[in-house]
Structure 1
Amino acid sequence: MKYLRSVRGRMLCIAFVPGGALVVVAVVIAFFLVHQANLTRESAMETAGAAGRTASAVGSLQGQRSAAMSVPDQRTAAYANFTQRIDTAIAGLREYARHAPDAESAYQQTTAVELLSVAEGMDRSDSLALAGIDAVTRRPFTRAVAAYRADLERIAPQLTESGRTAYESLTRSADWSTLAAVEDALAAAEPLPIPESTWRSAAYRVSQQLGNLYSQQSQYAVQLTLDDGRRTLAGAIAASAALLLCAGLLLVVVRRLVARVPVPVVPIMVPTIQAAIPRPRHARSRRPRVPEPWPMKAVLDDLRRQ
């Protein structure tokens, strides 16, 4: 029936509107979340690369600073020059941490940068101690030692569980106690309480453990950002799949409801399965007319009558 098919068709078309809208929404959400996940992943990889480059640059500058400070005449200038360059490199890494995709990643990356600053503070004081403490360098040495100890103690509660375990292991170790005793003696202008070789071995191991603390925290921060990107991508796929499923269920339900629509009994419901095609006006049949007599026959009849 024309009328029945028209009603069902209109109902299906109306159902397609919200279904199509859900599909469009699903595609838009999926595109946005996938784009956000890619940005998060790129940010994590960029931060990891910047952290690796900064750590390498800081290590190289620290070695150059120690070598330059071995010359007595250039000690003060070399210390100021290389220290400023190292601080600039660490400040650049801190900017990367501030632009993390979420607050938790920024917090963990900032903690890693602070640990790198602590390691630099320990190496800074060690460079001054190796160059020789005098009346000029004793004050910077004392400030550097106090700063890196206070910063490490302040950062310790912010570390992960494994980081706090490593911190406690470091601060309770014999190497830490040995280094602290030497630093206190140098700050007070007292002779070394232990042999220099023991001091150097302890300083090396403490520096290495501080570097490991930084590496562990930095890797954790990068992994946290990558996990956030994966969660965002999984959420995009799940949300899109849910919306598409809802759209499909809506269309199925509406189609079944439309199939149950009763046939309306109205005069207009006339079977038109094989509707006749209207013929053009010029092809319609006319009323039969009386044939006109043939002209030659009319002439012959007239001749007979004469």
Structure 2
Amino acid sequence: MSDAGPTVLVLRKGAHGISTTEYADALRERLPDDVTVKRAATPREEREAIAGATVVTGHRISEELVERAEHLRLFACASAGYEHLPLEALRERGAAVTNASGVHGPNIAEHVVGALLAFARDFRRFWRQEERHEWRRGQASELYGSTVTVVGLGAIGSAVVDRLEPFGVETIGVRYTPEKGGPTDEVIGFDEDDFHGALARSDYVVLACPLSETTEGLVGAAELDTLEPHAVLVNVGRGPIVDTDALVSALQGNSIGGAALDVTDPEPLPPGHPLWDLDNAFVTPHSSGHTPKYYARLADILARNWGQIRETGRYEDLENQVA
């Protein structure tokens, strides 16, 4: 550290190329006055500034930048996923690593509830009728009394369950360690019989789990066939959790009621992909987590960790520490 106090460097690009200027501003509001928050405007400035940074934060960091970060003690990853980071290089540098687990809970949960309501109340059909100036009542269904299976009971899945409680739905949670229980009415593991049994009872299935060996391809042709014809699949986890070809086939054949996809495989979804043109598919461009409060929540985590570091003098046992 220099006499001027520690430096926090905010890397230039956020997820999907979004500027991190707002993130830097939020950190300046929350960190003590003796902490300098820098955000380099160019790659060259970034390479120069990282040499004196105690804390670096952003969605990703290259091994080249880690090598230049001579005083680095903490890399605060601005995304929940951290497998893409050069963890070995960070470990050799002696830097702790935290992630952004929890910042997506409220925003993505609202997206999920909105998608469930859109399908339950048939909003998409009514929007199309409005565009045609067509007065035709039809009949929507209700979310009340339905069964919703939520795969993954981390910050996002738990936030979804919390927001569903006032709607009077039954909930089934799926997690790696069902013995831990959870906020749902019932909790099961990934055993095939248990999982298929839950699918068969579900009106809606929400995928809010990370991508892993267990979850990759979790929902394929057999699982989609197990769902009732009215059931709706919502994926806010990762695209490869679902077999895209099997999903397209199920939607085209109306063997399930619909799908709301904030993540896809491939991603970005090519302009000519059939999912774009299906009336029973609702595709959003991996945007459910991006709201004005996203960077404020990130800054809150780093500010709390900085307070702990100041108090203890150690870069250990930090909130969301993953390495």
- TM-score scaled to structure 2, two decimals? 0.20
The higher-RCO structure (CA 8 Å, 6+ apart) is: 1
- TM-score scaled to structure 1, two decimals? 0.21
Task: Say which structure is richer in strand.
Answer: 2
Instruction: Decide which structure has the larger Cα Rg and report it.
Output: 1
